[in-house]
Amino acid sequence: MSYPDFPGSLILFEVDVVATGETEWATRIYVSGIYSGPTDVVATESYELDWRMDDRRLLESGSAALALSSGERIRQDWTSIITPALDSDRIPAIFERFPQEGELVSASISPFEINGRSMGYEWEGTVRKQGEQGYGDGK
């Protein structure tokens, strides 16, 4: 994850996500890197993703505006490689159905609720194929 306004900042994430139900996931995140920007982030705005398939991997690029308590905004950019954990050489069914042209995601995210070492938020988004007006909403 990079911050164009703070070129010395670069944060790396290693993330494991496991579905624990139809609409819930358990997530473990390992964070490393350097961040020299402001620490008074209160919300995320203009959250957008671009997903594309590359063989057995999902390539993600995204950006968002982080709102600060002062009212200022800073930009956040990232790229990710999403690889399913498999016990076999079979491609997951979701990857087999993924549109060749890729998908775009736009989401609105509620202000963060921070309580000690916990943070919560809600999000609502739209996923659409590249080049289409839109299909499907996600929560």
pLDDT in tens, 29-83: 888 999 999 989 888 888 898 988 887 788 889 999 999 999 999 999 999 988 7
Q: Is residue 8 part of a domain?
A: no
Predicted confidence (pLDDT) per residue in 91-121, tens digit? 666 677 778 788 888 888 888 887 777 778 8
| Domain housing 46 | 37-138
Task: Look at the pTM and tell me if it is higher than 0.85.
Answer: no
Beta-bridged to residue 2, according to DSSP, are: 10, 77
Instruction: Report the CATH number at residue 114.
Output: 2.40.155.10
Q: Is residue 61 part of a domain?
A: yes
The total number of structural domains in the chain stands at 1
Q: Is residue 11 part of a domain?
A: no
Predicted confidence (pLDDT) per residue in 3-25, tens digit? 999 999 999 988 887 777 777 77
Q: Is residue 129 part of a domain?
A: yes
Cβ density class 36-69: b for 16+ within 10 Å, e for less: eeeeeeebbebbebebbbeeeebebebebebbee
Q: Is residue 1 part of a domain?
A: no
Q: Is residue 96 part of a domain?
A: yes
Q: Is residue 73 part of a domain?
A: yes
Q: Is residue 19 part of a domain?
A: no
